[in-house]
Amino acid sequence: MSILVDKNTRLLVQGITGNEGDFHTRQMVAYGTKVVAGVTPGKGGEWVLNGKIPVFDSIRQAVNARGANVSVIFVPARFAADAMFESADAGIPLIVCITEGIPVQDMMRVRNYLDQKGVRLVGPNCPGLLTPGEAKVGIIPGDIAIPGNVGVVSRSGTLTYEILYALKQENMGVSTCVGIGGDPVNGTNFVDCLEMFEEDPNTEQVVLIGEIGGSEEEKAAEFIADRMTKPIAGFIAGQTAPPGKRMGHAGAIIEGGSGLAADKIRALEMAGVQVAQHPEEIPGMLK
């Protein structure tokens, strides 16, 4: 068991013929993920990965022919909003958007539209999902995590890899790792993931990796205090970040005195979360 993706995932890759799409499709297939189709408008009818994966012009065609239930997006930022609308309209229930640099007004329209349709989005500007041993949807390196009972949710990319790697060094495995992305307006948030981890029988403890900007960590703390029974360890990046500067991620910014790391750490600690001073302390905080 796991959350969001597993061995029954039938994955469709949007932008499969681009550099990124091609490279990561190979990695996902090598990991054992069932990639059933690709979409690149104008390249329908081609086959990729030595004739193993058919390419379609539209998501609807791909869904009709191959029955995909998850879509992962590697298209450039300027086309990404349209890619998400298309997936939602074709009935895909879970969209994972890796693309970085999508205009925030595009994301507000996408998010509001997807909410109306009841479609779940992970990302954008995220590394995607990894259910070790079952499915890799996105760009998280498959070999840095082993199957186990720790659920991981994070706003970051390589920092998440650090945590997975540190867990693996201690022989601790992961149920599912969710990268929710570093943009100010995204899809699935901390609370959604905590709710799913709380219900997932194979997840026994959770690691939450936050960073400066916004108030999603504070909302997570509230949820944890009210609803979580499983133990949680956390880390918040950006304690030394200056205000008013975007720290690489579009959403990692302290604005008008809010979004500070110290406030997030305090909120999480008040909710009973053990907050690490640095990521390598995390495995020691779990059982």
* CA pair distance 139, 152, nearest whole angstrom: 15
Does residue number 211 form part of the binding site for another protein (CB under 8 A)?
yes
* Closest approach of another protein to the CB of residue 211, in Å: 6
Name which of 148 and 251 has its Cβ closer to another protein.
Answer: 251
For β-strands 70-73 and 10-14, DSSP reports them as parallel
Name which of 140 and 232 has its Cβ closer to another protein.
Answer: 140
Does residue number 185 form part of the binding site for another protein (CB under 8 A)?
yes
Nearest CA among 185, 165, 217 for reference residue 80: 185
Whether residue 262 contacts residue 251, with contact meaning beta carbons closer than 8 Å, is answered with: no
* Closest approach of another protein to the CB of residue 278, in Å: 5
Does residue number 214 form part of the binding site for another protein (CB under 8 A)?
yes
Does residue number 248 form part of the binding site for another protein (CB under 8 A)?
yes
Does residue number 158 form part of the binding site for another protein (CB under 8 A)?
yes
From the candidates 24, 120, 155, 249, give the one annotated as an active-site residue. 249
* Closest approach of another protein to the CB of residue 24, in Å: 8
Does residue number 30 form part of the binding site for another protein (CB under 8 A)?
no
The full length of the chain comes to 287
Candidate segments 1-9, 28-36, 59-67, 152-160, binder of another protein by CB under 8 A? 152-160
* CA pair distance 202, 174, nearest whole angstrom: 9
Does residue number 108 form part of the binding site for another protein (CB under 8 A)?
yes
What does each C-alpha distance from 192 to 72, 120, 158, 187, 238 come to in angstroms? 19, 10, 22, 10, 23
Name which of 158 and 229 has its Cβ closer to another protein.
Answer: 158
Retrieve residue 278's tokens: 């640095």
Order of all β-strands in the sheet with 120-122? 47-48, 53-56, 34-39, 10-14, 70-73, 94-97, 120-122
Does residue number 201 form part of the binding site for another protein (CB under 8 A)?
no
Which one-letter amino acid corresponds to residue 21? G
Retrieve residue 193's tokens: 């993931």
Tell me whether residue 278 is one of the annotated catalytic residues: no
* CA pair distance 116, 189, nearest whole angstrom: 17
Positions touching another protein (CB under 8 A) are: 23-24, 27, 77-78, 101-109, 111-113, 139-141, 143-144, 154-162, 165, 182, 184-185, 209, 211-212, 214-215, 235, 237-242, 245-252, 256, 261, 277-280
